[in-house]
Amino acid sequence: MDCPVFHTDYRLERPALETHRLLNADREAARFAWNDSTDEGFWVLNRFDDVKEALERDEDFTNDQVSAFHRSAPMGLLPENLNQPEHSELRRILNPFFAPKLVKRIADLARERAAALVEEVAPAKSTDIATGFGMTYPTELFLALLGLPVEDAGKFLPWVEGQFIGFFNSDPESQRIAAETRHSIDEYFTAAIAERAGDPRDPKTDLVTRLVTAEYQGAPIPHGTILTILNTIMAAGLDTTRSAIGYTFLHMARHPEDRERLLAEPELWPKAVEEIIRLYTLIIQDGREAARDLDFHGLQIRKGDLVWLGLAAANQDPRKFEHPERFDPDRPNLNQHLGFGAGYHRCLGMHLARAELGIAMSEWHRRIPHYRIADGAELRERGSQLRLQHLPIVWD
Ligand code: HEM
């Protein structure tokens, strides 16, 4: 099959929403393409049915690599880098902890923290959502959920930045920062693990205890593996929630008619959150590695090739979603988006993310219903995994 070659480098920072515009154009330009913007290059699948099929064909498209942008060291992310059956065994240990029932446990705390943080910023009549509320709120909840002291949030904020510098940049300086960050995070979690080993808590409500006491492959989980799991959950959970909060505010600031509807019908927030995750998909791609030479609907993929499964482009595919560019919390197939992935690796924290986001939005809008983007604000989004760098808003 003759394939076009795309050159767009999706690791670059761009004006807000430009990335999705480019991805939508790619999806319509060709069913399959090669992208040569990285050293190695990768195959591009951007249409909904293709992306979903590849995500579900995990024996052909493996998680040995999980980003099309670059290769990373084996087993650097857990459970992400595992394939079946090891992956399911580890998910069986983790899933109950992140199940909807347990997430409800933190609802009261989420409401209380969201309310307190909004009350704190309200008198100033302006804030940067991306670096303020959007960052502090998920970090505090993450620590509370893990049974760690909420006062440690200040340490975690720079650590998350350090982790991401390492994920997206392969130059020596970025890798040095990432390694130093990993060292600090490991020290922190090693202390928590030692404490739980000596004085275990309830494994149903304390994740570190759960990991320390669980059996995986017939033995206790090795210390290094527990550290990687905790690092992964931290990397996967904090920046994503912060990003989703940013895009939700951006949408509501730019679309007062949608905001008015949600002010009148706050019970609609869970559906609105789902639609934001689709429309502003922040994990734009899941990377996979081809397990063998494959013929994917005529596209010849070689064993070892990197493949881009375009979650963001798929989520705005008009073949799947009618008027995909519209925010429509009433759409009949609202829950069928790929914003949390699909198949075995579907997001471990999605129930938590949904609950956190819905609560944050209803608490904020109850207190500060009317706001606008600050005059002259330059809105830009990070590449690779989208996030608004700043979102200054003001209110009267
Ligand atoms: C709006 C917020 C979030 C979005 C959009 C999101 C999105 C995703 C996506 C697309 C995947 C699939 C990756 C793949 O297939 O390679 C994933 C996996 C994962 N997510 Fe989330 N996520 C969010 C929040 C969270 C939170 C809050 C946590 C935990 C505290 C979390 C933990 C994880 C983990 C551990 C995985 C790997 C699962 C596996 O490989 O089995 N995520 N997420």
pLDDT, one tens digit per residue, over 150-170 is 899 989 989 998 988 888 777
Average pLDDT over residues 308-326: 98
Phi and psi torsions of 303, nearest 5°:
-50, 130
Where do the domains of the chain lie?
5-391
pLDDT, one tens digit per residue, over 86-126 is 999 999 999 999 998 888 888 999 999 999 999 999 999 99
CA dihedral for 335, 337, 339, 343, sign (positive or negative): positive
Residue 214's pLDDT band (boundaries 50, 70, 90)? Answer: very high
Residues 49, 194: Cα–Cα separation, whole Å: 46
For the 5-391 domain, the top CATH level (class) is: mainly alpha
More confident residue, 244 or 165: 244
Average pLDDT over residues 271-289: 98
Burial class (CB in 10 A: 0-12, 13-18, 19+), 103: buried
Phi and psi torsions of 34, nearest 5°:
-110, 135
Residue 262's pLDDT band (boundaries 50, 70, 90)? Answer: very high
In this model, does residue 284 exceed pLDDT 80?
yes
Token digits of residue 133: 């509320």
SS3 content of the chain, % helix, strand, coil (to 5): 55, 10, 35
Residue 348 Cβ inside 6 Å of ligand 1? The answer reads yes
Q: What pLDDT shows up at residue 224?
A: 96
Q: What pLDDT shows up at residue 359?
A: 97
In this model, does residue 366 exceed pLDDT 80?
yes
Burial class (CB in 10 A: 0-12, 13-18, 19+), 155: middle
Q: What pLDDT shows up at residue 135?
A: 93
In this model, does residue 372 exceed pLDDT 80?
yes
b vs e for 344-374, b when ≥16 Cβ sit within 10 Å of the residue's Cβ?
Answer: bbebbbbbbbbbbbbbbbbbbbeebeebebe
Residue 45 Cβ inside 6 Å of ligand 1? The answer reads no
Residue 345 Cβ inside 6 Å of ligand 1? The answer reads yes
CB contact at 8 A, 281 and 337: yes
Whose Cα sits closest to atom 19 in ligand 1? 347
Q: What pLDDT shows up at residue 195?
A: 93
CA dihedral 66, 71, 72, 77 (to 10 degrees): 0
pLDDT, one tens digit per residue, over 3-44 is 999 999 999 999 999 999 999 999 999 999 999 999 999 999
Residue 283 Cβ inside 6 Å of ligand 1? The answer reads yes
